[in-house]
Amino acid sequence: MIRTIVLLLLLVSAAKALGREVVVGVYQNPPKLVAAADGAASGILGDLLTEIAGRENWQLKTVQCDWAYCLQLLQAGEIDLLPDVAFSEERALLLDFHRTPALFSWSQLYLAPGVPLDSLADLTGKKVLVLRDSIQQRYLQQQLNSAGIEAQLIETRSMAEAFAMVAAGQADAVAANHYFGRAHMDEYQLMQGDIVFQPVQLFYASRKGRNQDLLAVIETDLAQWQANASSPYYHILQRWGANTPPLQMPERVWWLLSMLSALLLLALLGAWWLKKQVAEKTRHLQASEERLSTILNSVDAHIYIKDTKGRYQYLNRKVAELFGCTAEQALGRRDDAFFDAATSANLQQNDQRVLQQGQRIVEEERNCSLDGQQCHTYLSVKMPLRDAKGKIYALCGISTDITEHKQQQQEIHQLAFYDALTGLPNRRLLLERLQHAVALNQRQPQQGALLFIDLDHFKDLNDSLGHAMGDKLLQLAAQRLQQHLRKIDTLARLGGDEFVVLLTDMHPDAELAIQKAGLIADKIVQLMAEAFMLQERPYSLSASVGVVMFSDGCNADELLQRADLAMYDAKERGRNGVRFFNQQMQAEVSARTELATGLRQAMAQQQFVLHFQPQIQGDTTVGAEVLLRWQHPDKGLVAPGLFIPVAESSGQILQIGRWVLQQACMQLAEWARHSDTASWYLAVNVSARQLHDVHFVDEVKKALRDNGAIAENLVLELTESQLLQDIDTVIHKMQQLTALGVRFSLDDFGTGYSSLSYLKRLPLSQLKIDRSFVRDILTDANDKAIIKTILALGQSLELAVIAEGVETEPQYQKLLQLGCQQFQGYLFGKPVALAEFAKAQLGSFTQR
């Protein structure tokens, strides 16, 4: 055993004597590490290693490399030791270190002259040189990243190169250990910056698990030497100018480092807070973007953004639906990808007004799909979008589909201004156009005319063939008229069977214009007289036309009223003709209007009175005709011929007739109470309007009932003309009343169409020979013949016949001779008030 130990000791000492080869990496980092001219390791750490190697009999073999390469060689195990290696946890995974630091060092920034640098933030935009793979590089990069500072870190291979580059103005600063910086800053004329960072402990390092023995020796020596101020350690430090005690940091460095750390902490806190704010803002933005998107996609409008080239940059759900694709598919495409050529050209034109002239426009756009099949109308509001400098970079559009609204508007317009049956303009549109034409004519007289057309006896068609056929005929008439008019003329339907033609620009010469209007009116009468085919059968009617020419100071309403008057005049003159308006018509209308007003007052103020004219048979008064008079406060007694026609046309005859019936029945009832007069009857005139009124029968019944009159004593006088219309209804009404006992007399007999066929159907009691025949009975053989015929007719139909207008004894005698038995006329008594009538008829009749 002892021999073995001795042997080992001998081997160790032999090995020592031989000297161990230690491969050392050397790079230039003065004064800490320097490669001497012969390649030997020098500088503080080189000399220390040489001192230790000398004592331990190590043969140092140096390998020159730059820092990064040296580190690679050490990790690869190709060198045994590398001085000047700062400790880090990361490196400790790959390398072994001794425990006692060989040196303490820190890093500082060295600056080109004039570069201000008070804090890390000042590095923004600066170029900073760092040794490649150095801990300064890693540290600075981390700090800059976490503080969000954008500085450019540029790698270099050596400190000397880096200092030279800053000196040459190629960079703003260089990060270096303070040993190198202090030793070289003056040489390169750089300034020491206030930023101090990363204090480090420097060691000799070896590849993990390889040279523990070497590191153990270094550890022992360093520990002993650092504890002894006269040791080689301090000599070497002194030699390389590192006079300050290297084992502790200078106070300023600590202070600076603390400040830096505090600043860093603040910066980190600031960065964290900023990050939080940004995250929060981003969240808010995202949330509000989602909200906005939800809103934009829910609204019932098409919202979009187009760039200056008309390419879609944004579109909401409605637009995507319209295009039939997703929003993403539509982005970047132009309108010509979705609309037909005309639409996209129009859209482009509108867009250019916004994009080039910066206008905000509101336009109605009619957009049709690519195939032109689907067209919609939009109300589009488009406005330019500008950047911070006011330059237009896009447009934003909001388009609302108003197709339905437009259609409704069109329908409303159609309903408001056009006649539903014929499609012609209605009264309102006619008046609008007429007002316009009148105004134009006043500025530029070109002569215009208004033609009022009314179909004659149109009611008969409705009554006989039904309203559907009536409507059909109105449509055919409208078409026929329209075909013969110019495009600039207006044909309107006012309602019922009334049409109006507005003719403008007829002729500057008034005479010629009147001629032209007359020709057109005649043509219309001809056109309407041509048969219409209804249910495949020809139906003929006629029309009456009133014409008025535009004249000074006459407005649209007045013109229409005048044309209407002229048309009525045409009707009164036998229909199927044309009448031009003249002032006399106007005067008649004014008089009629005045009269109608007077009649209303007369009724209200009980100004009507009844006169009675006797009717004679043999020598006896058998009854009387009731004749209406108006006791006018100014004009005296007004005869019915002057007001009955107006009462008829204004409809007041219904009220007046009711009153007459009531009064007549009252009188009948009164007479019935006295034996002398009990058999007297009263003949009451009934107007056409009354007879055709639906309440007529009831009103007669009511008058009889109200007054307790005997129906058999009431004679109602009708005229032949009243029986032309709606004969069946009239017969039915007469039958209802004759069933009660009421009698009917046919007045003015012989003047109208005395048709035997209807005479036989009518439940009549009496025929009344018109006084025009009686007047000339003695002189006119014709009249005499007519009277004879009427008397014969009455006999054969078993009707009583009464002659009216008997004024003279010879007339009376002649009538008696011809066989007439009943008479009425001035010969027997004029129509007089009741009192006078009673006085005259009760006793004095025989004295005539």
State the residues that interact with ligand LFPHGCPZ by CB under 6 A. Answer: 613, 625-628, 639-641, 644, 657, 660, 685, 687, 747-748, 771, 804-807, 824-826, 831
How far does Cα 65 stand from its chain's mean position? 83
Nearer to ligand LFPHGCPZ, 490 or 613 (CB): 613
Please report how close the Cβ of residue 617 comes to ligand LFPHGCPZ at its closest, in angstroms. Answer: 16
Minimum distance, C-beta of residue 653 to ligand LFPHGCPZ, in the bound complex (Å): 6
Q: Which is nearer to ligand LFPHGCPZ, 174 or 656 (CB)?
A: 656
Report the C-alpha dihedral over residues 636, 638, 639, 641, rounded to 10 degrees. Answer: 160
Nearest-approach distance from CB 847 to ligand LFPHGCPZ, in angstroms? 18
* Bridge-based pairing state of the strands 714-719 and 743-749: parallel
Query: CA-CA distance, 100 to 120, in Å (whole number)?
Result: 32
Q: Are 744 and 734 in contact (CB under 8 A)?
A: yes
Cα–Cα distance measured from residue 451 to residue 336, given in angstroms and rounded to the nearest whole number:
53
Measured in degrees and rounded to the nearest 5, phi and psi for residue 139 equal -65, -50
Q: Which is nearer to ligand LFPHGCPZ, 208 or 632 (CB)?
A: 632
Distance, in Å, from the CA atom of 479 to the CA atom of 294, rounded to the nearest integer, reads 56
Question: CB neighbours (10 Å) of residue 423?
Answer: 13
Q: Which is nearer to ligand LFPHGCPZ, 75 or 631 (CB)?
A: 631
Rank residues 190 and 777 by Cβ distance to ligand LFPHGCPZ and give the closer one: 777
Q: Which has the closest alpha carbon to 804: 679, 719, 710, 690?
A: 719
Cβ proximity of 408 and 474 under 8 Å? no
Distance between CA atoms of residues 356 and 394, nearest Å: 10
Instruction: Tell the smallest beta-carbon distance from residue 749 to ligand LFPHGCPZ (Å).
Output: 10
* Nearer residue to ligand LFPHGCPZ within complex by CB, 644 or 714: 644
Question: DSSP string spanning 32-76?
Answer: TBEE-TTS-EEHHHHHHHHHHHHHHTEEEEEEE--HHHHHHHHHT
| Closest distance of CB 737 from ligand LFPHGCPZ, Å | 16
Q: How far is the CB of 602 from ligand LFPHGCPZ (least distance, A)?
A: 13
- Smaller CB distance to ligand LFPHGCPZ: residue 290 or 809? 809
What pairs with residue 449 in β-bridges?
503, 549
Closest separation between CB of residue 748 and ligand LFPHGCPZ, Å?
5
Q: Which is nearer to ligand LFPHGCPZ, 264 or 603 (CB)?
A: 603
Query: What residue has token string 């004759």?
Result: 738
Pairwise CA distance, residues 803 & 796, whole Å: 17
Of 235 and 632, nearer to ligand LFPHGCPZ (C-beta) is: 632
Distance CA 419, CA 482 (A): 14
Nearest-approach distance from CB 733 to ligand LFPHGCPZ, in angstroms: 16
Closer residue to ligand LFPHGCPZ, CB minimum distance, 448 or 831: 831
Could you tell me the smallest distance in angstroms from the CB atom of residue 478 to ligand LFPHGCPZ? Answer: 38
Report the nearest approach of ligand LFPHGCPZ to the CB of residue 690 (Å).
7
- What is the number of H-type helices and E-type strands within the chain? 30, 33
DSSP state, residue 123: G
What's the min distance (Å) between Cβ of 656 and ligand LFPHGCPZ?
A: 7
DSSP 478-521: HHHHHHTS-TTSEEEEEETTEEEEEE-S--SSHHHHHHHHHHHH
Q: With 0-12 CB in 10 A as exposed, 13-18 as middle and 19+ as buried, what is 417?
A: middle
Distances, alpha carbon 213 to alpha carbons 192, 206, 510, 717, 826, in Å: 40, 10, 139, 159, 174
Residue closer to ligand LFPHGCPZ (CB basis): 688 or 710: 688
Q: CA distances (Å), 576 to each of 524, 527, 594, in order?
A: 10, 11, 29
Nearest partner of 667 among 844, 834, 837, 839, judged by Cα: 834
By beta-carbon proximity to ligand LFPHGCPZ, the closer residue of 520 and 746 is: 746
CB 565, min distance to ligand LFPHGCPZ, A: 24
Pull the structure tokens for residue 373: 């099949």
Question: Given the complex with ligand LFPHGCPZ, which of 640 and 763 has the nearer CB atom?
Answer: 640
Residues 783, 789, 793: CA angle, nearest 5 degrees: 145
| Shortest CB 793 distance to ligand LFPHGCPZ, Å | 18
